[in-house]
Structure 1
Amino acid sequence: MACIFDEDNIQLNIQFDNKYDAIKEAGKILLNRDCIEPEYIDAMIEREDKVSVYIGNGVAIPHGVGGSEKYIKKSGLSFLQIPEGIDFGDGKIAYLVIGIAGVDGEHLDILANIAVTCSDVEKVEQLKKATTKESVLSILDM
């Protein structure tokens, strides 16, 4: 899997007014890395409007709706650490927002890898408290 995930895809200790701003920023990182077309960010927001991308344990994984694959140029991840958290509705607070774009079905492999990591409460705590991009990279190990 030729996944684009390095220090340039990580933002630590940031805050947002709402979940849509966080999703847009996760998409903007992928856009700036030339992984996606701008339309994919709209598809990420549409996904959240249809079904919440909050997966539990303080983690949200925004990605596009079905059919938005045509806006993906290459696979990539973005990582946002939000210490104060952002409300994804119904009291679900995300402290980590991980944007995903995957070509040729790679997003399913990426989602599976992230889901395994983010189901480990200890690893999520480490990611929430990480102070360096290197530590995020080593914990996610993509």
Structure 2
Amino acid sequence: MREDLLDPRAVLLHESAASREEAVRRCGRVLVDVGAVAEPYVEAMLERERTISTYVGEGVAIPHGTAASKQDVARDAICVVRFPGGIDWDGERVTLCVGIAAAGDGHVPLLAALAEILLDPDRARTLREATEPGQVLKELT
């Protein structure tokens, strides 16, 4: 995965959220804070989540906006937000959210790269259990 996609400020490993919506909102806020997306993108992420769950297995969800929200993306980026206490995600337990912002079709290679990492149980566990941003950056770039 390209190094410029993951700003070290977009790696938060000790977060908590009371709900799936709150977790998605937190991911969106991180993407806004690093200048990757405009504010409306956060609502688009919630809209996507209401349409189809972004849970992908192994305790991981990949929240992202709708096709219509691409105009709110300033640059392709990801964020990694860990919720050590876990969140109920439609009956699944999520501890790691990888938020995606992509203009155009930038999300396709991003999702493919993430899937490759997450399909490797050891790498997925490393991400889920990371306590230092450096561990996440090393695993993803």
Q: Same fold (TM over 0.5)?
A: yes
What's the counterpart of residue 55 of structure 2? 54
What's the counterpart of residue 120 of structure 1? 120
Matches within 5 A, 1:28-43: 28-43=29-44
TM-score (norm 1): 0.93
What's the counterpart of residue 4 of structure 1? 5
Q: Does 1:110 align with 2:110?
A: yes
1:14-51, Cα deviation, whole Å (9 max, x unpaired): 21100111111111111011111111110100000000
Matches within 5 A, 1:127-142: 127-141=127-141
> How far apart in 2 are the matches of 1:119 and 1:85?
20
8 Å CA contact 1:12, 1:82 repeated in 2:
yes
**Residue 67 of structure 2: SS of its match in structure 1?**
coil
> How far apart in 2 are the matches of 1:2 and 1:74?
13
> How far apart in 1 are the matches of 2:17 and 2:3?
30
Alpha-carbon deviation of 1:66?
1.7
**Residue 64 of structure 2: SS of its match in structure 1?**
coil
Alpha-carbon deviation of 1:67?
1.2
> How far apart in 2 are the matches of 1:43 and 1:6?
21
8 Å CA contact 2:77, 2:101 repeated in 1:
yes
8 Å CA contact 1:59, 1:96 repeated in 2:
yes
> How far apart in 2 are the matches of 1:56 and 1:99?
15
8 Å CA contact 2:19, 2:88 repeated in 1:
yes
* Residue type of the alignment partner of 1:44: M
Matched-pair identity in %:
30
Aligned residues: 140
TM-score (norm 2): 0.94
* Residue type of the alignment partner of 1:13: H
Query: How well do the aligned residues superpose, as a CA RMSD in angstroms?
Result: 1.3
* Structure 1 segments unaligned to the other structure (5+ residues): none
> How far apart in 2 are the matches of 1:4 and 1:125?
21
**Residue 74 of structure 1: SS of its match in structure 2?**
coil
> How far apart in 2 are the matches of 1:77 and 1:115?
14
Displaced runs of 4 or more, over 2 A: 1-4
Alpha-carbon deviation of 1:94?
0.9
1:73-125, Cα deviation, whole Å (9 max, x unpaired): 11111111111111111x21111101000122111111111111111111111
